[in-house]
Amino acid sequence: MIAVMKTVSGEVTLTHRAVPEVGAGQVRLEVSATGVCGTDLHIAADEYASEPPVTMGHEISGMVVEVGQGGDPSWLGQRVVCETYFSTCEVCQMCRAGRRNLCASRRSLGSFEDGGFAASVVVPALNLHAVPDHVASEDAVLFEPLACVAQCLLDPSRVEAGERALVIGPGAMGLLSIQVALVAGAEVACLGLASDTRRLAVAERMGAAIVTEAESEAYDVVIECSGAPAGISAAFRAVRRGGRYVQVGISGREVTIPFDSVLYKELEVSSGFASTPGSWRRALDLVNRRQINLSGLVTHTLPLERWEEAFALVGSADAIKVALSP
Ligand SMILES: [Zn+2]
Ligand SMILES: [Zn+2]
């Protein structure tokens, strides 16, 4: 099968690989689609840890075609999404506290273990979740980003009913954050660049007010989804005194930001790294109850062979979520 891999020499390339074998406790998925994430671009640029050679892609939507020894055969033929940890140590303080996302020995799909930019992928059966019937397999690639947003915003809750929330950066994470903040009962504004026309139109349809410049000290909570230094600086300006700053986006490098605002304004700064079983449950509940709508956010699905074009699209204002499909 063909796969998009990060190689030992550091390049990303399309290569041929053997179809992976299924071990006990594992299942093999036929991949329907796998989302291309900002993290994939950071992995390609050596700005995010990985262990090559490895097949990239962690936002996987697929169908179970093989169940490993002793596994539950009722998974066969089911459409599924899967949590991103292939393995964690299970004995460290973080694992034992249920915070497997913070395990130092965590091996994630698409960076340390072979991921979903291929026709087939093997994952632990423990990580599977059935895709709700009303969600298209292509749209299901958004469950992983939604679980990450839930990790940042809902556990514990960072947005309260009646509050003013500002979401900075109308990419996929920003648009999912807008929906989560609206469900929480906040009045939501979204700040983007002038070139973000398409993304901002979607934000507006979702119910966010579009702002081109963020009012100073006007928001109870600011949710920074761009990872860009200008976005982070705008967030520190826009949050009110005693307010909350939530980091969702990744910068990928050291950035210069007005960090003294944390002190002057007594800000609460928080984030969420990747996802946990709890945040996946939240994401599935929100979609199952139709409180969050994933459709319309996957704007481009390209075959694996066109991965370079797909990676380039991720940074363009034309795209919201880009996916690769075998
Ligand atoms: Zn992702
Ligand atoms: Zn651990």
The confidence band for 2, taking pLDDT boundaries of 50, 70 and 90, is very high
Nearest ligand to residue 93 Cα: 2
Nearest ligand to residue 43 Cα: 1
Nearest ligand to residue 88 Cα: 2
Number of domains forming the structure of the chain: 2
41 and 135 part of one domain: yes
- Confirm whether 141 is domain-assigned: yes
182 and 284 part of one domain: no
179 and 128 part of one domain: no
- The span from the CA of 173 to the CA of 185, in Å, is 18
250 and 302 part of one domain: no
Q: How remote is the CA of residue 260 from the centroid of ligand 1, in Å? A: 30
52 and 195 part of one domain: no
Q: How remote is the CA of residue 206 from the centroid of ligand 2, in Å? A: 38
Q: How remote is the CA of residue 274 from the centroid of ligand 2, in Å? A: 15
- What is the domain-level CATH number for residue 45? 3.90.180.10
Q: How remote is the CA of residue 101 from the centroid of ligand 2, in Å? A: 9
The confidence band for 252, taking pLDDT boundaries of 50, 70 and 90, is confident
- The span from the CA of 171 to the CA of 202, in Å, is 10
Which residues form the domain of 193?
156-271
Nearest ligand to residue 94 Cα: 2
Q: How remote is the CA of residue 35 from the centroid of ligand 1, in Å? A: 7
- Confirm whether 151 is domain-assigned: no
247 and 181 part of one domain: yes
The confidence band for 49, taking pLDDT boundaries of 50, 70 and 90, is very high
What is the H or E stretch that residue 221 is in?
strand 219-224
- Token pair listed for 19: 């179809």
Q: How remote is the CA of residue 96 from the centroid of ligand 2, in Å? A: 7
21 and 99 part of one domain: yes
- The span from the CA of 123 to the CA of 129, in Å, is 12
**Closest to 135 measured CA to CA, from 173, 84, 201, 81:** 81
Q: How remote is the CA of residue 102 from the centroid of ligand 2, in Å? A: 7
- The span from the CA of 114 to the CA of 121, in Å, is 7
Residue 98: the pLDDT is: 87
- The conformation of residue 109, written as its DSSP 8-state character, comes to B
315 and 221 part of one domain: no
Nearest ligand to residue 34 Cα: 1
38 and 103 part of one domain: yes
- As a whole-number percent, the residues of the chain with pLDDT over 70 amount to 100
- Confirm whether 251 is domain-assigned: yes
- The span from the CA of 17 to the CA of 245, in Å, is 43
Nearest ligand to residue 321 Cα: 1
Residue 27: the pLDDT is: 98
What pLDDT digit, counting tens, does each position of 138-187 carry? 999 999 999 999 999 998 999 999 999 999 999 999 999 999 999 999 99
- Mean pLDDT in residue range 6-20: 96
- Token pair listed for 241: 């005194």
136 and 198 part of one domain: no
Q: Is the pLDDT of residue 315 over 90?
A: no
Question: Chain-wide mean pLDDT for the chain?
Answer: 96
Q: How remote is the CA of residue 38 from the centroid of ligand 1, in Å? A: 7
209 and 252 part of one domain: yes
Q: How remote is the CA of residue 242 from the centroid of ligand 2, in Å? A: 34
Region of poorest pLDDT, from 2-11, 103-112, 147-156, 309-318? 309-318
Q: How remote is the CA of residue 266 from the centroid of ligand 1, in Å? A: 31
Q: How remote is the CA of residue 39 from the centroid of ligand 1, in Å? A: 6
- Confirm whether 150 is domain-assigned: no
164 and 206 part of one domain: yes
Per-residue burial over 255-272, b = 16 or more CB atoms within 10 Å of its CB, e = otherwise: eebeeebeeebebeeeeb
Q: How remote is the CA of residue 34 from the centroid of ligand 1, in Å? A: 10
Residue 130: the pLDDT is: 98
Query: CB neighbours of 37 closer than 8 A, spacing ≥ 6?
Result: 58, 59, 144, 145, 314
- What is the domain-level CATH number for residue 259? 3.40.50.720
Contact criterion met (CB below 8 Å) for 145 and 176 = yes
